[in-house]
Each structure stands twice: as structure tokens, then as C-alpha cells.
Amino acid sequence: MQTTLSLYFMSSLYIFGGFVHFVKPKIYLRIMPSAIPKPLIMVHLSGAAEIILGVGALFKETRNIALIGIILMLILFLWVHFYMLSGEKAAAGIPKIILYLRIPLQFLLMYWAYSYWI
């Protein structure tokens, strides 16, 4: 039962996070590396990906594909986390200690997703 609750919680985090990309895109635009073209479109695409992958993780038939997608997405998001360490503007006002702690958190999130592999 705990595994199921934990899976639902993990999925809900991605689904909620994906919706935030659409409701508050400025949060993500502030931390988007300048090398990424069409930043608003990319914010919306990454939000859609989070929603789709979060929902996909809930169903046994799509879980493994969704989990691979979540892990790959988290790997890609590492670029943003390292970019945020590049300077004050990129940090968007977030304290450096938090920015450093987010990097190992990404790996914990990857492991969390991997732990549901069927």
C-alpha cells in the first residue's frame, strides 16, 4: 500500500509541476538558459512532458516508458540546475546552498522513479 501511495505522490508532483509551467511560466523563464531557443515554447513543452509522464507512471501498461521519460527529463533538467549556478541573474534569487542541494536531489528523484520499474 505504501508503494502505491508513494507512486501516486510522485506522479502527482510531476503532474502539478507540469501545470505550474502553464499557470506561472515566468518562474521557469527566469531560469531558462539563454542558449535554449523559443523559451516560452520550451517551458510549455516541458510542462506538457511532466504532465504526460506523471500520468503515464500511474498505469502499469505505460509505467516503464513514463519512468524512462522522467529520468531522461531529470537528466536534461540538470543543465538548468548547473546554469543557475553560473551567476546571480541565473540563480533567480535562490541561495547558492539551495542550488547546490538541488543537484543531488535530481539524482534522488531519478532513483525514486527507477524504483518503480516493473
**What is the DSSP secondary-structure string of 40-72?**
HHHHHHHHHHHHHHHHHTTSTTTHHHHHHHHHH
DSSP state for residue 32 in the 8-state scheme: -
pLDDT of residue 114 exceeding 60: yes
Cα–Cα distance between 18 and 12 in angstroms, integer? 10
Q: What digits encode the pLDDT tens for the residues 45-56?
A: 999 999 999 999
What pLDDT does 88 receive?
84
pTM: 0.91
Between residues 33 and 57, the one the model is more confident about: 57
pLDDT of residue 2 exceeding 80: no
**For the stretch 34-50, what's the b/e string if a residue is b when 16 or more beta carbons lie within 10 angstroms of its beta carbon?**
eeeeebeebbbebbebb
pLDDT of residue 1 exceeding 60: no
Q: What digits encode the pLDDT tens for the residues 12-25?
A: 999 999 999 999 99
Cα–Cα distance between 59 and 38 in angstroms, integer? 32
Domain ranges of the chain: 2-114
What pLDDT does 82 receive?
93
